[in-house]
Structure 1
Amino acid sequence: MKTFQSIDDFLCEIGIKSFQENKDFFIFRIEDHFGDNDFEMSTYKHSFFELTFGIGHDVDINIGTTKFNTVENVLSFNTPYQITSWKVNSFEENSIGYMVLFNPNIIKSEYSNLDLYTTFPFLNLYSSPMHSLSESQKHALIKLMQTIHTEFNQNSGGRKSIILSSYLTILLEKINSIVDSSTTKKIFTNRADEITYLFENLLKKDINYKNKLAYYASKLFISTAYLSECVKKSTQKSAKALIQEFIIFKAKALLNQSNSKIQNVAIELGFVETSNFVNYFKKQVGITPNKYRKNHNIYNLYLKYYK
C-alpha cells in the first residue's frame, strides 16, 4: 500500500503534473484527466484531505470500511491516513466533477489544525465518509467548485493563496451547512477530548500491534495514566480498547481493499506471526480474516449484480 506525504506525489501517481507554487492546495476537473477510460487507484493513504464530488459519475469508492458508488450524487471525504481505493467505471455525456486536495496550512490563518476538526466535524475519521445531496445542494456545490477551479488556474499574483484560502473556507462552511450534524462527532469541548483526538490521530498515522500505550503517551508528552483518563472520559472506552479498534479498523480496510496475503496484512499491522494475527482478529471480530474477506467479496458481488 502506498503512502503519499505530499499532494504533488499523489498527483504524479494519478498522472497529473502540478506546476503550482502552493503545495498545500490543488483542485482539478475529473473529466479533464480521466476521460472515458477506466481508471483504478489501488489502496493508498495520504497526509492531506481529499474531497470529491461529481454529477454523472459511476465510480466505486472504498474509504476505510465504507464502500459506496457515486452514481447518486455522492460527496465524499478522505481524511489523512485513511485507507482508500477507487475505480472509475464510466461518465455520462454531460458529467462534471472535481477533486479538491488540501493541507490545513492553506487556511491556517483562519483555523488551527485542532480548530479545523472542531469547526468542520465531517472531516473527522469516525464521521461518515460520504453524503448524498439534493438537487439544489449538488448544483450549489458544483457552481462553487467551478469558481474555485477558475481562480486556481488564474494568475492572481501574491494574493492567490489568500483567495484560494477564502474560497476553500466558504466551500467547507457550505458543506457544513449541508451535512447532518448527527452523523459527525463533535470534539474538543474540553482538554480530554483534545487529548483523545491527538491520540486518535497518532493511531491513524502509526497503528501497529507492537506499539503499546506508553509509546503513544510518550509521543504526546503525557503519562500513560493521564492518557487513559482522558480517553475514558471522552469515549467511555479504555485507551487499550481504542488501540484494538484501530488495529481491527485498519485490518478490515486492508482485507476489504486489497488482495494482499493474510501474512502481508499481518506484517503491516506489526504481527510477527501470522497465526497471532488470525487469532487476534478472530477474538475481536468473531471470524477469521479469510472468512471476513470471503464474506465481504460475496457481499460485493451481490451489490454489483443488483446495482
Structure 2
Amino acid sequence: MSKTLPQIAFKTRYPEVSGIEVIRLEEIRDRVEDLTHSPQHPHQIAFYKLVYYTKGKTQHLVDFKWYDVEEDTVLYLSKGQVNAFKFNPEIEGYVILFTEDYFKKQLNTIPKYTVVRLFTSHLFEPKIQVPQHSAVLKYIELLYHEFYKPSEYFNKKNIIDSLFNIIFSKVEALKKHQTHAVEDSDKLQLFLNIQTLLKSQFKSHKNADYYAQQLHITYKHLNVTCKAIIQSTAKQYIDAFVILEAKRKLINSSIKSTELAYDLGFNEATNFVKYFKKHTGFTPNAFKKMYS
C-alpha cells in the first residue's frame, strides 16, 4: 500500500453546475471497485462534504476519529480533513460535495456563523443527529432531483443554489441547539484571530503567552476566550492543533519522524517524539503504521 495519504480532488461528472455534486451514498458503496482509491481507506479531501445517512448503522472516520452513525446522522467535513467510510449493505444516504469557490459564492446568503460553526474543525465535532421532525432530508432529496434534471432545465443553477443555502441554514440551526452555542460575537472574532495567527506561526511558536502578546491581550484573556469558544485552555488548543498537523503530515508523506520534528519547529527529534506520545499515546512511527 502507498506510504502517502491519497489526496482526493473535486471531480464532477456533471460540469454544467459548477462546483457542486450530489451523489447517493449507496452509489459510492457500489462503485468502490471501480475507484482509484477506496473511500473505505483514509484519504484527505480537497473540497467540502456533507454526508446524510438515511438508513443503516456504521462508522465514519473524520480526522483519525471514528464516529458512530445511523439513520438521520449528518457529518460535515472541511477541505483538508482526513475521511473514510465503513460501508455495509444496509447503508443508504446522500453526499453533497462542493468546492471552496462554490462555498464562498454562497456566503452572502448563508447564516453568518455557518462557516464557523460547521466548517471550523477545531471548534465542534462534525456530527449532528437530525430530529425526525426536521425537513433537512426533504430538501436534500429535492436538491438531488433538481441536480439530475436536464442541463437546459429553466433556472437550474439558481434553484440548486437556493436549496443548498436552505439545507445549510437548517443544519446550522440544528448544530446551534446541539452544541455549546457561541453567543459572544467579540469572543468568537478574537478566537478566529487566534486561529489565523496560530495557523501561520505554530511551527515557531507553541507557547500561549506568545499569542497573547501578539494580539495585545493578557494570557488570562486568551484563556477565557478559548474556554468560552472551545471549552479548553489556549495551551490545550495549541497542542491539539499541532498534533493534528503532525498526524496529517505523518500519513500524508514518506517523511520520517525525525524530519517532521524539525519541520514542525522542534529543536530535537526526541522532544517531538515525547510530545507526540504524551498527547496521543503513540510514537509517531507507531501512529503512522496504523494508517499505512
Deviations 1:69-123 (A, max 9, x none): 4345421111343x3221342232x8343334353323133248x64336xx244
Q: Which residue in the other structure is 1:168 paired with?
A: 164
Aligned length: 273
Equivalent residue for 1:246, pick from 241, 246, 255: 241
Residues 1-307 of structure 1 aligned to structure 2 (within 5 Å): 10-12=9-11, 17-23=13-19, 25-35=20-30, 37=32, 39=38, 40-46=40-46, 48-57=47-56, 59-81=58-80, 83-92=81-90, 95-103=92-100, 104-111=103-110, 115-117=113-115, 121-125=117-121, 126-137=123-134, 140-154=135-149, 155=151, 159-179=155-175, 181-186=177-182, 189-190=185-186, 192-201=187-196, 203=198, 208-210=202-204, 224-226=214-216, 231-235=222-226, 242-251=237-246, 262-263=257-258, 266=261, 269-271=264-266, 273-282=268-277, 284-285=278-279, 287-289=281-283, 293=287
Query: Identity rate of aligned residues, in percent?
Result: 17
Look up the SS of the partner of 1:179 in the other structure: helix
* AA aligned opposite 1:42: P
Cα deviation for residue 146 of structure 1 reads 1.5
Matched residues in 1 for 2:237 and 2:269: separation? 22
* Aligned-residue CA RMSD (Å): 4.4
* AA aligned opposite 1:51: L
Q: TM-score, normalised by structure 2?
A: 0.69
**Change in CA separation of 1:63 and 1:206 when aligned onto 2, cut-off 3 Å:** farther
* AA aligned opposite 2:142: T
Look up the SS of the partner of 1:109 in the other structure: coil
**Is the Cα contact below 8 Å between 2:53 and 2:92 reproduced in 1?**
yes
Q: TM-score, normalised by structure 1?
A: 0.66
**Is the Cα contact below 8 Å between 1:54 and 1:142 reproduced in 2?**
no
The structure richer in strand per residue is 1
Deviations 1:150-191 (A, max 9, x none): 22233367844432222112112222343362524516611x
**Change in CA separation of 1:227 and 1:182 when aligned onto 2, cut-off 3 Å:** farther
**Is the Cα contact below 8 Å between 2:110 and 2:169 reproduced in 1?**
no
Look up the SS of the partner of 2:10 in the other structure: helix
Structure 1: which 5+ runs fail to align? 298-307
Matched residues in 2 for 1:41 and 1:194: separation? 36
Look up the SS of the partner of 1:62 in the other structure: strand
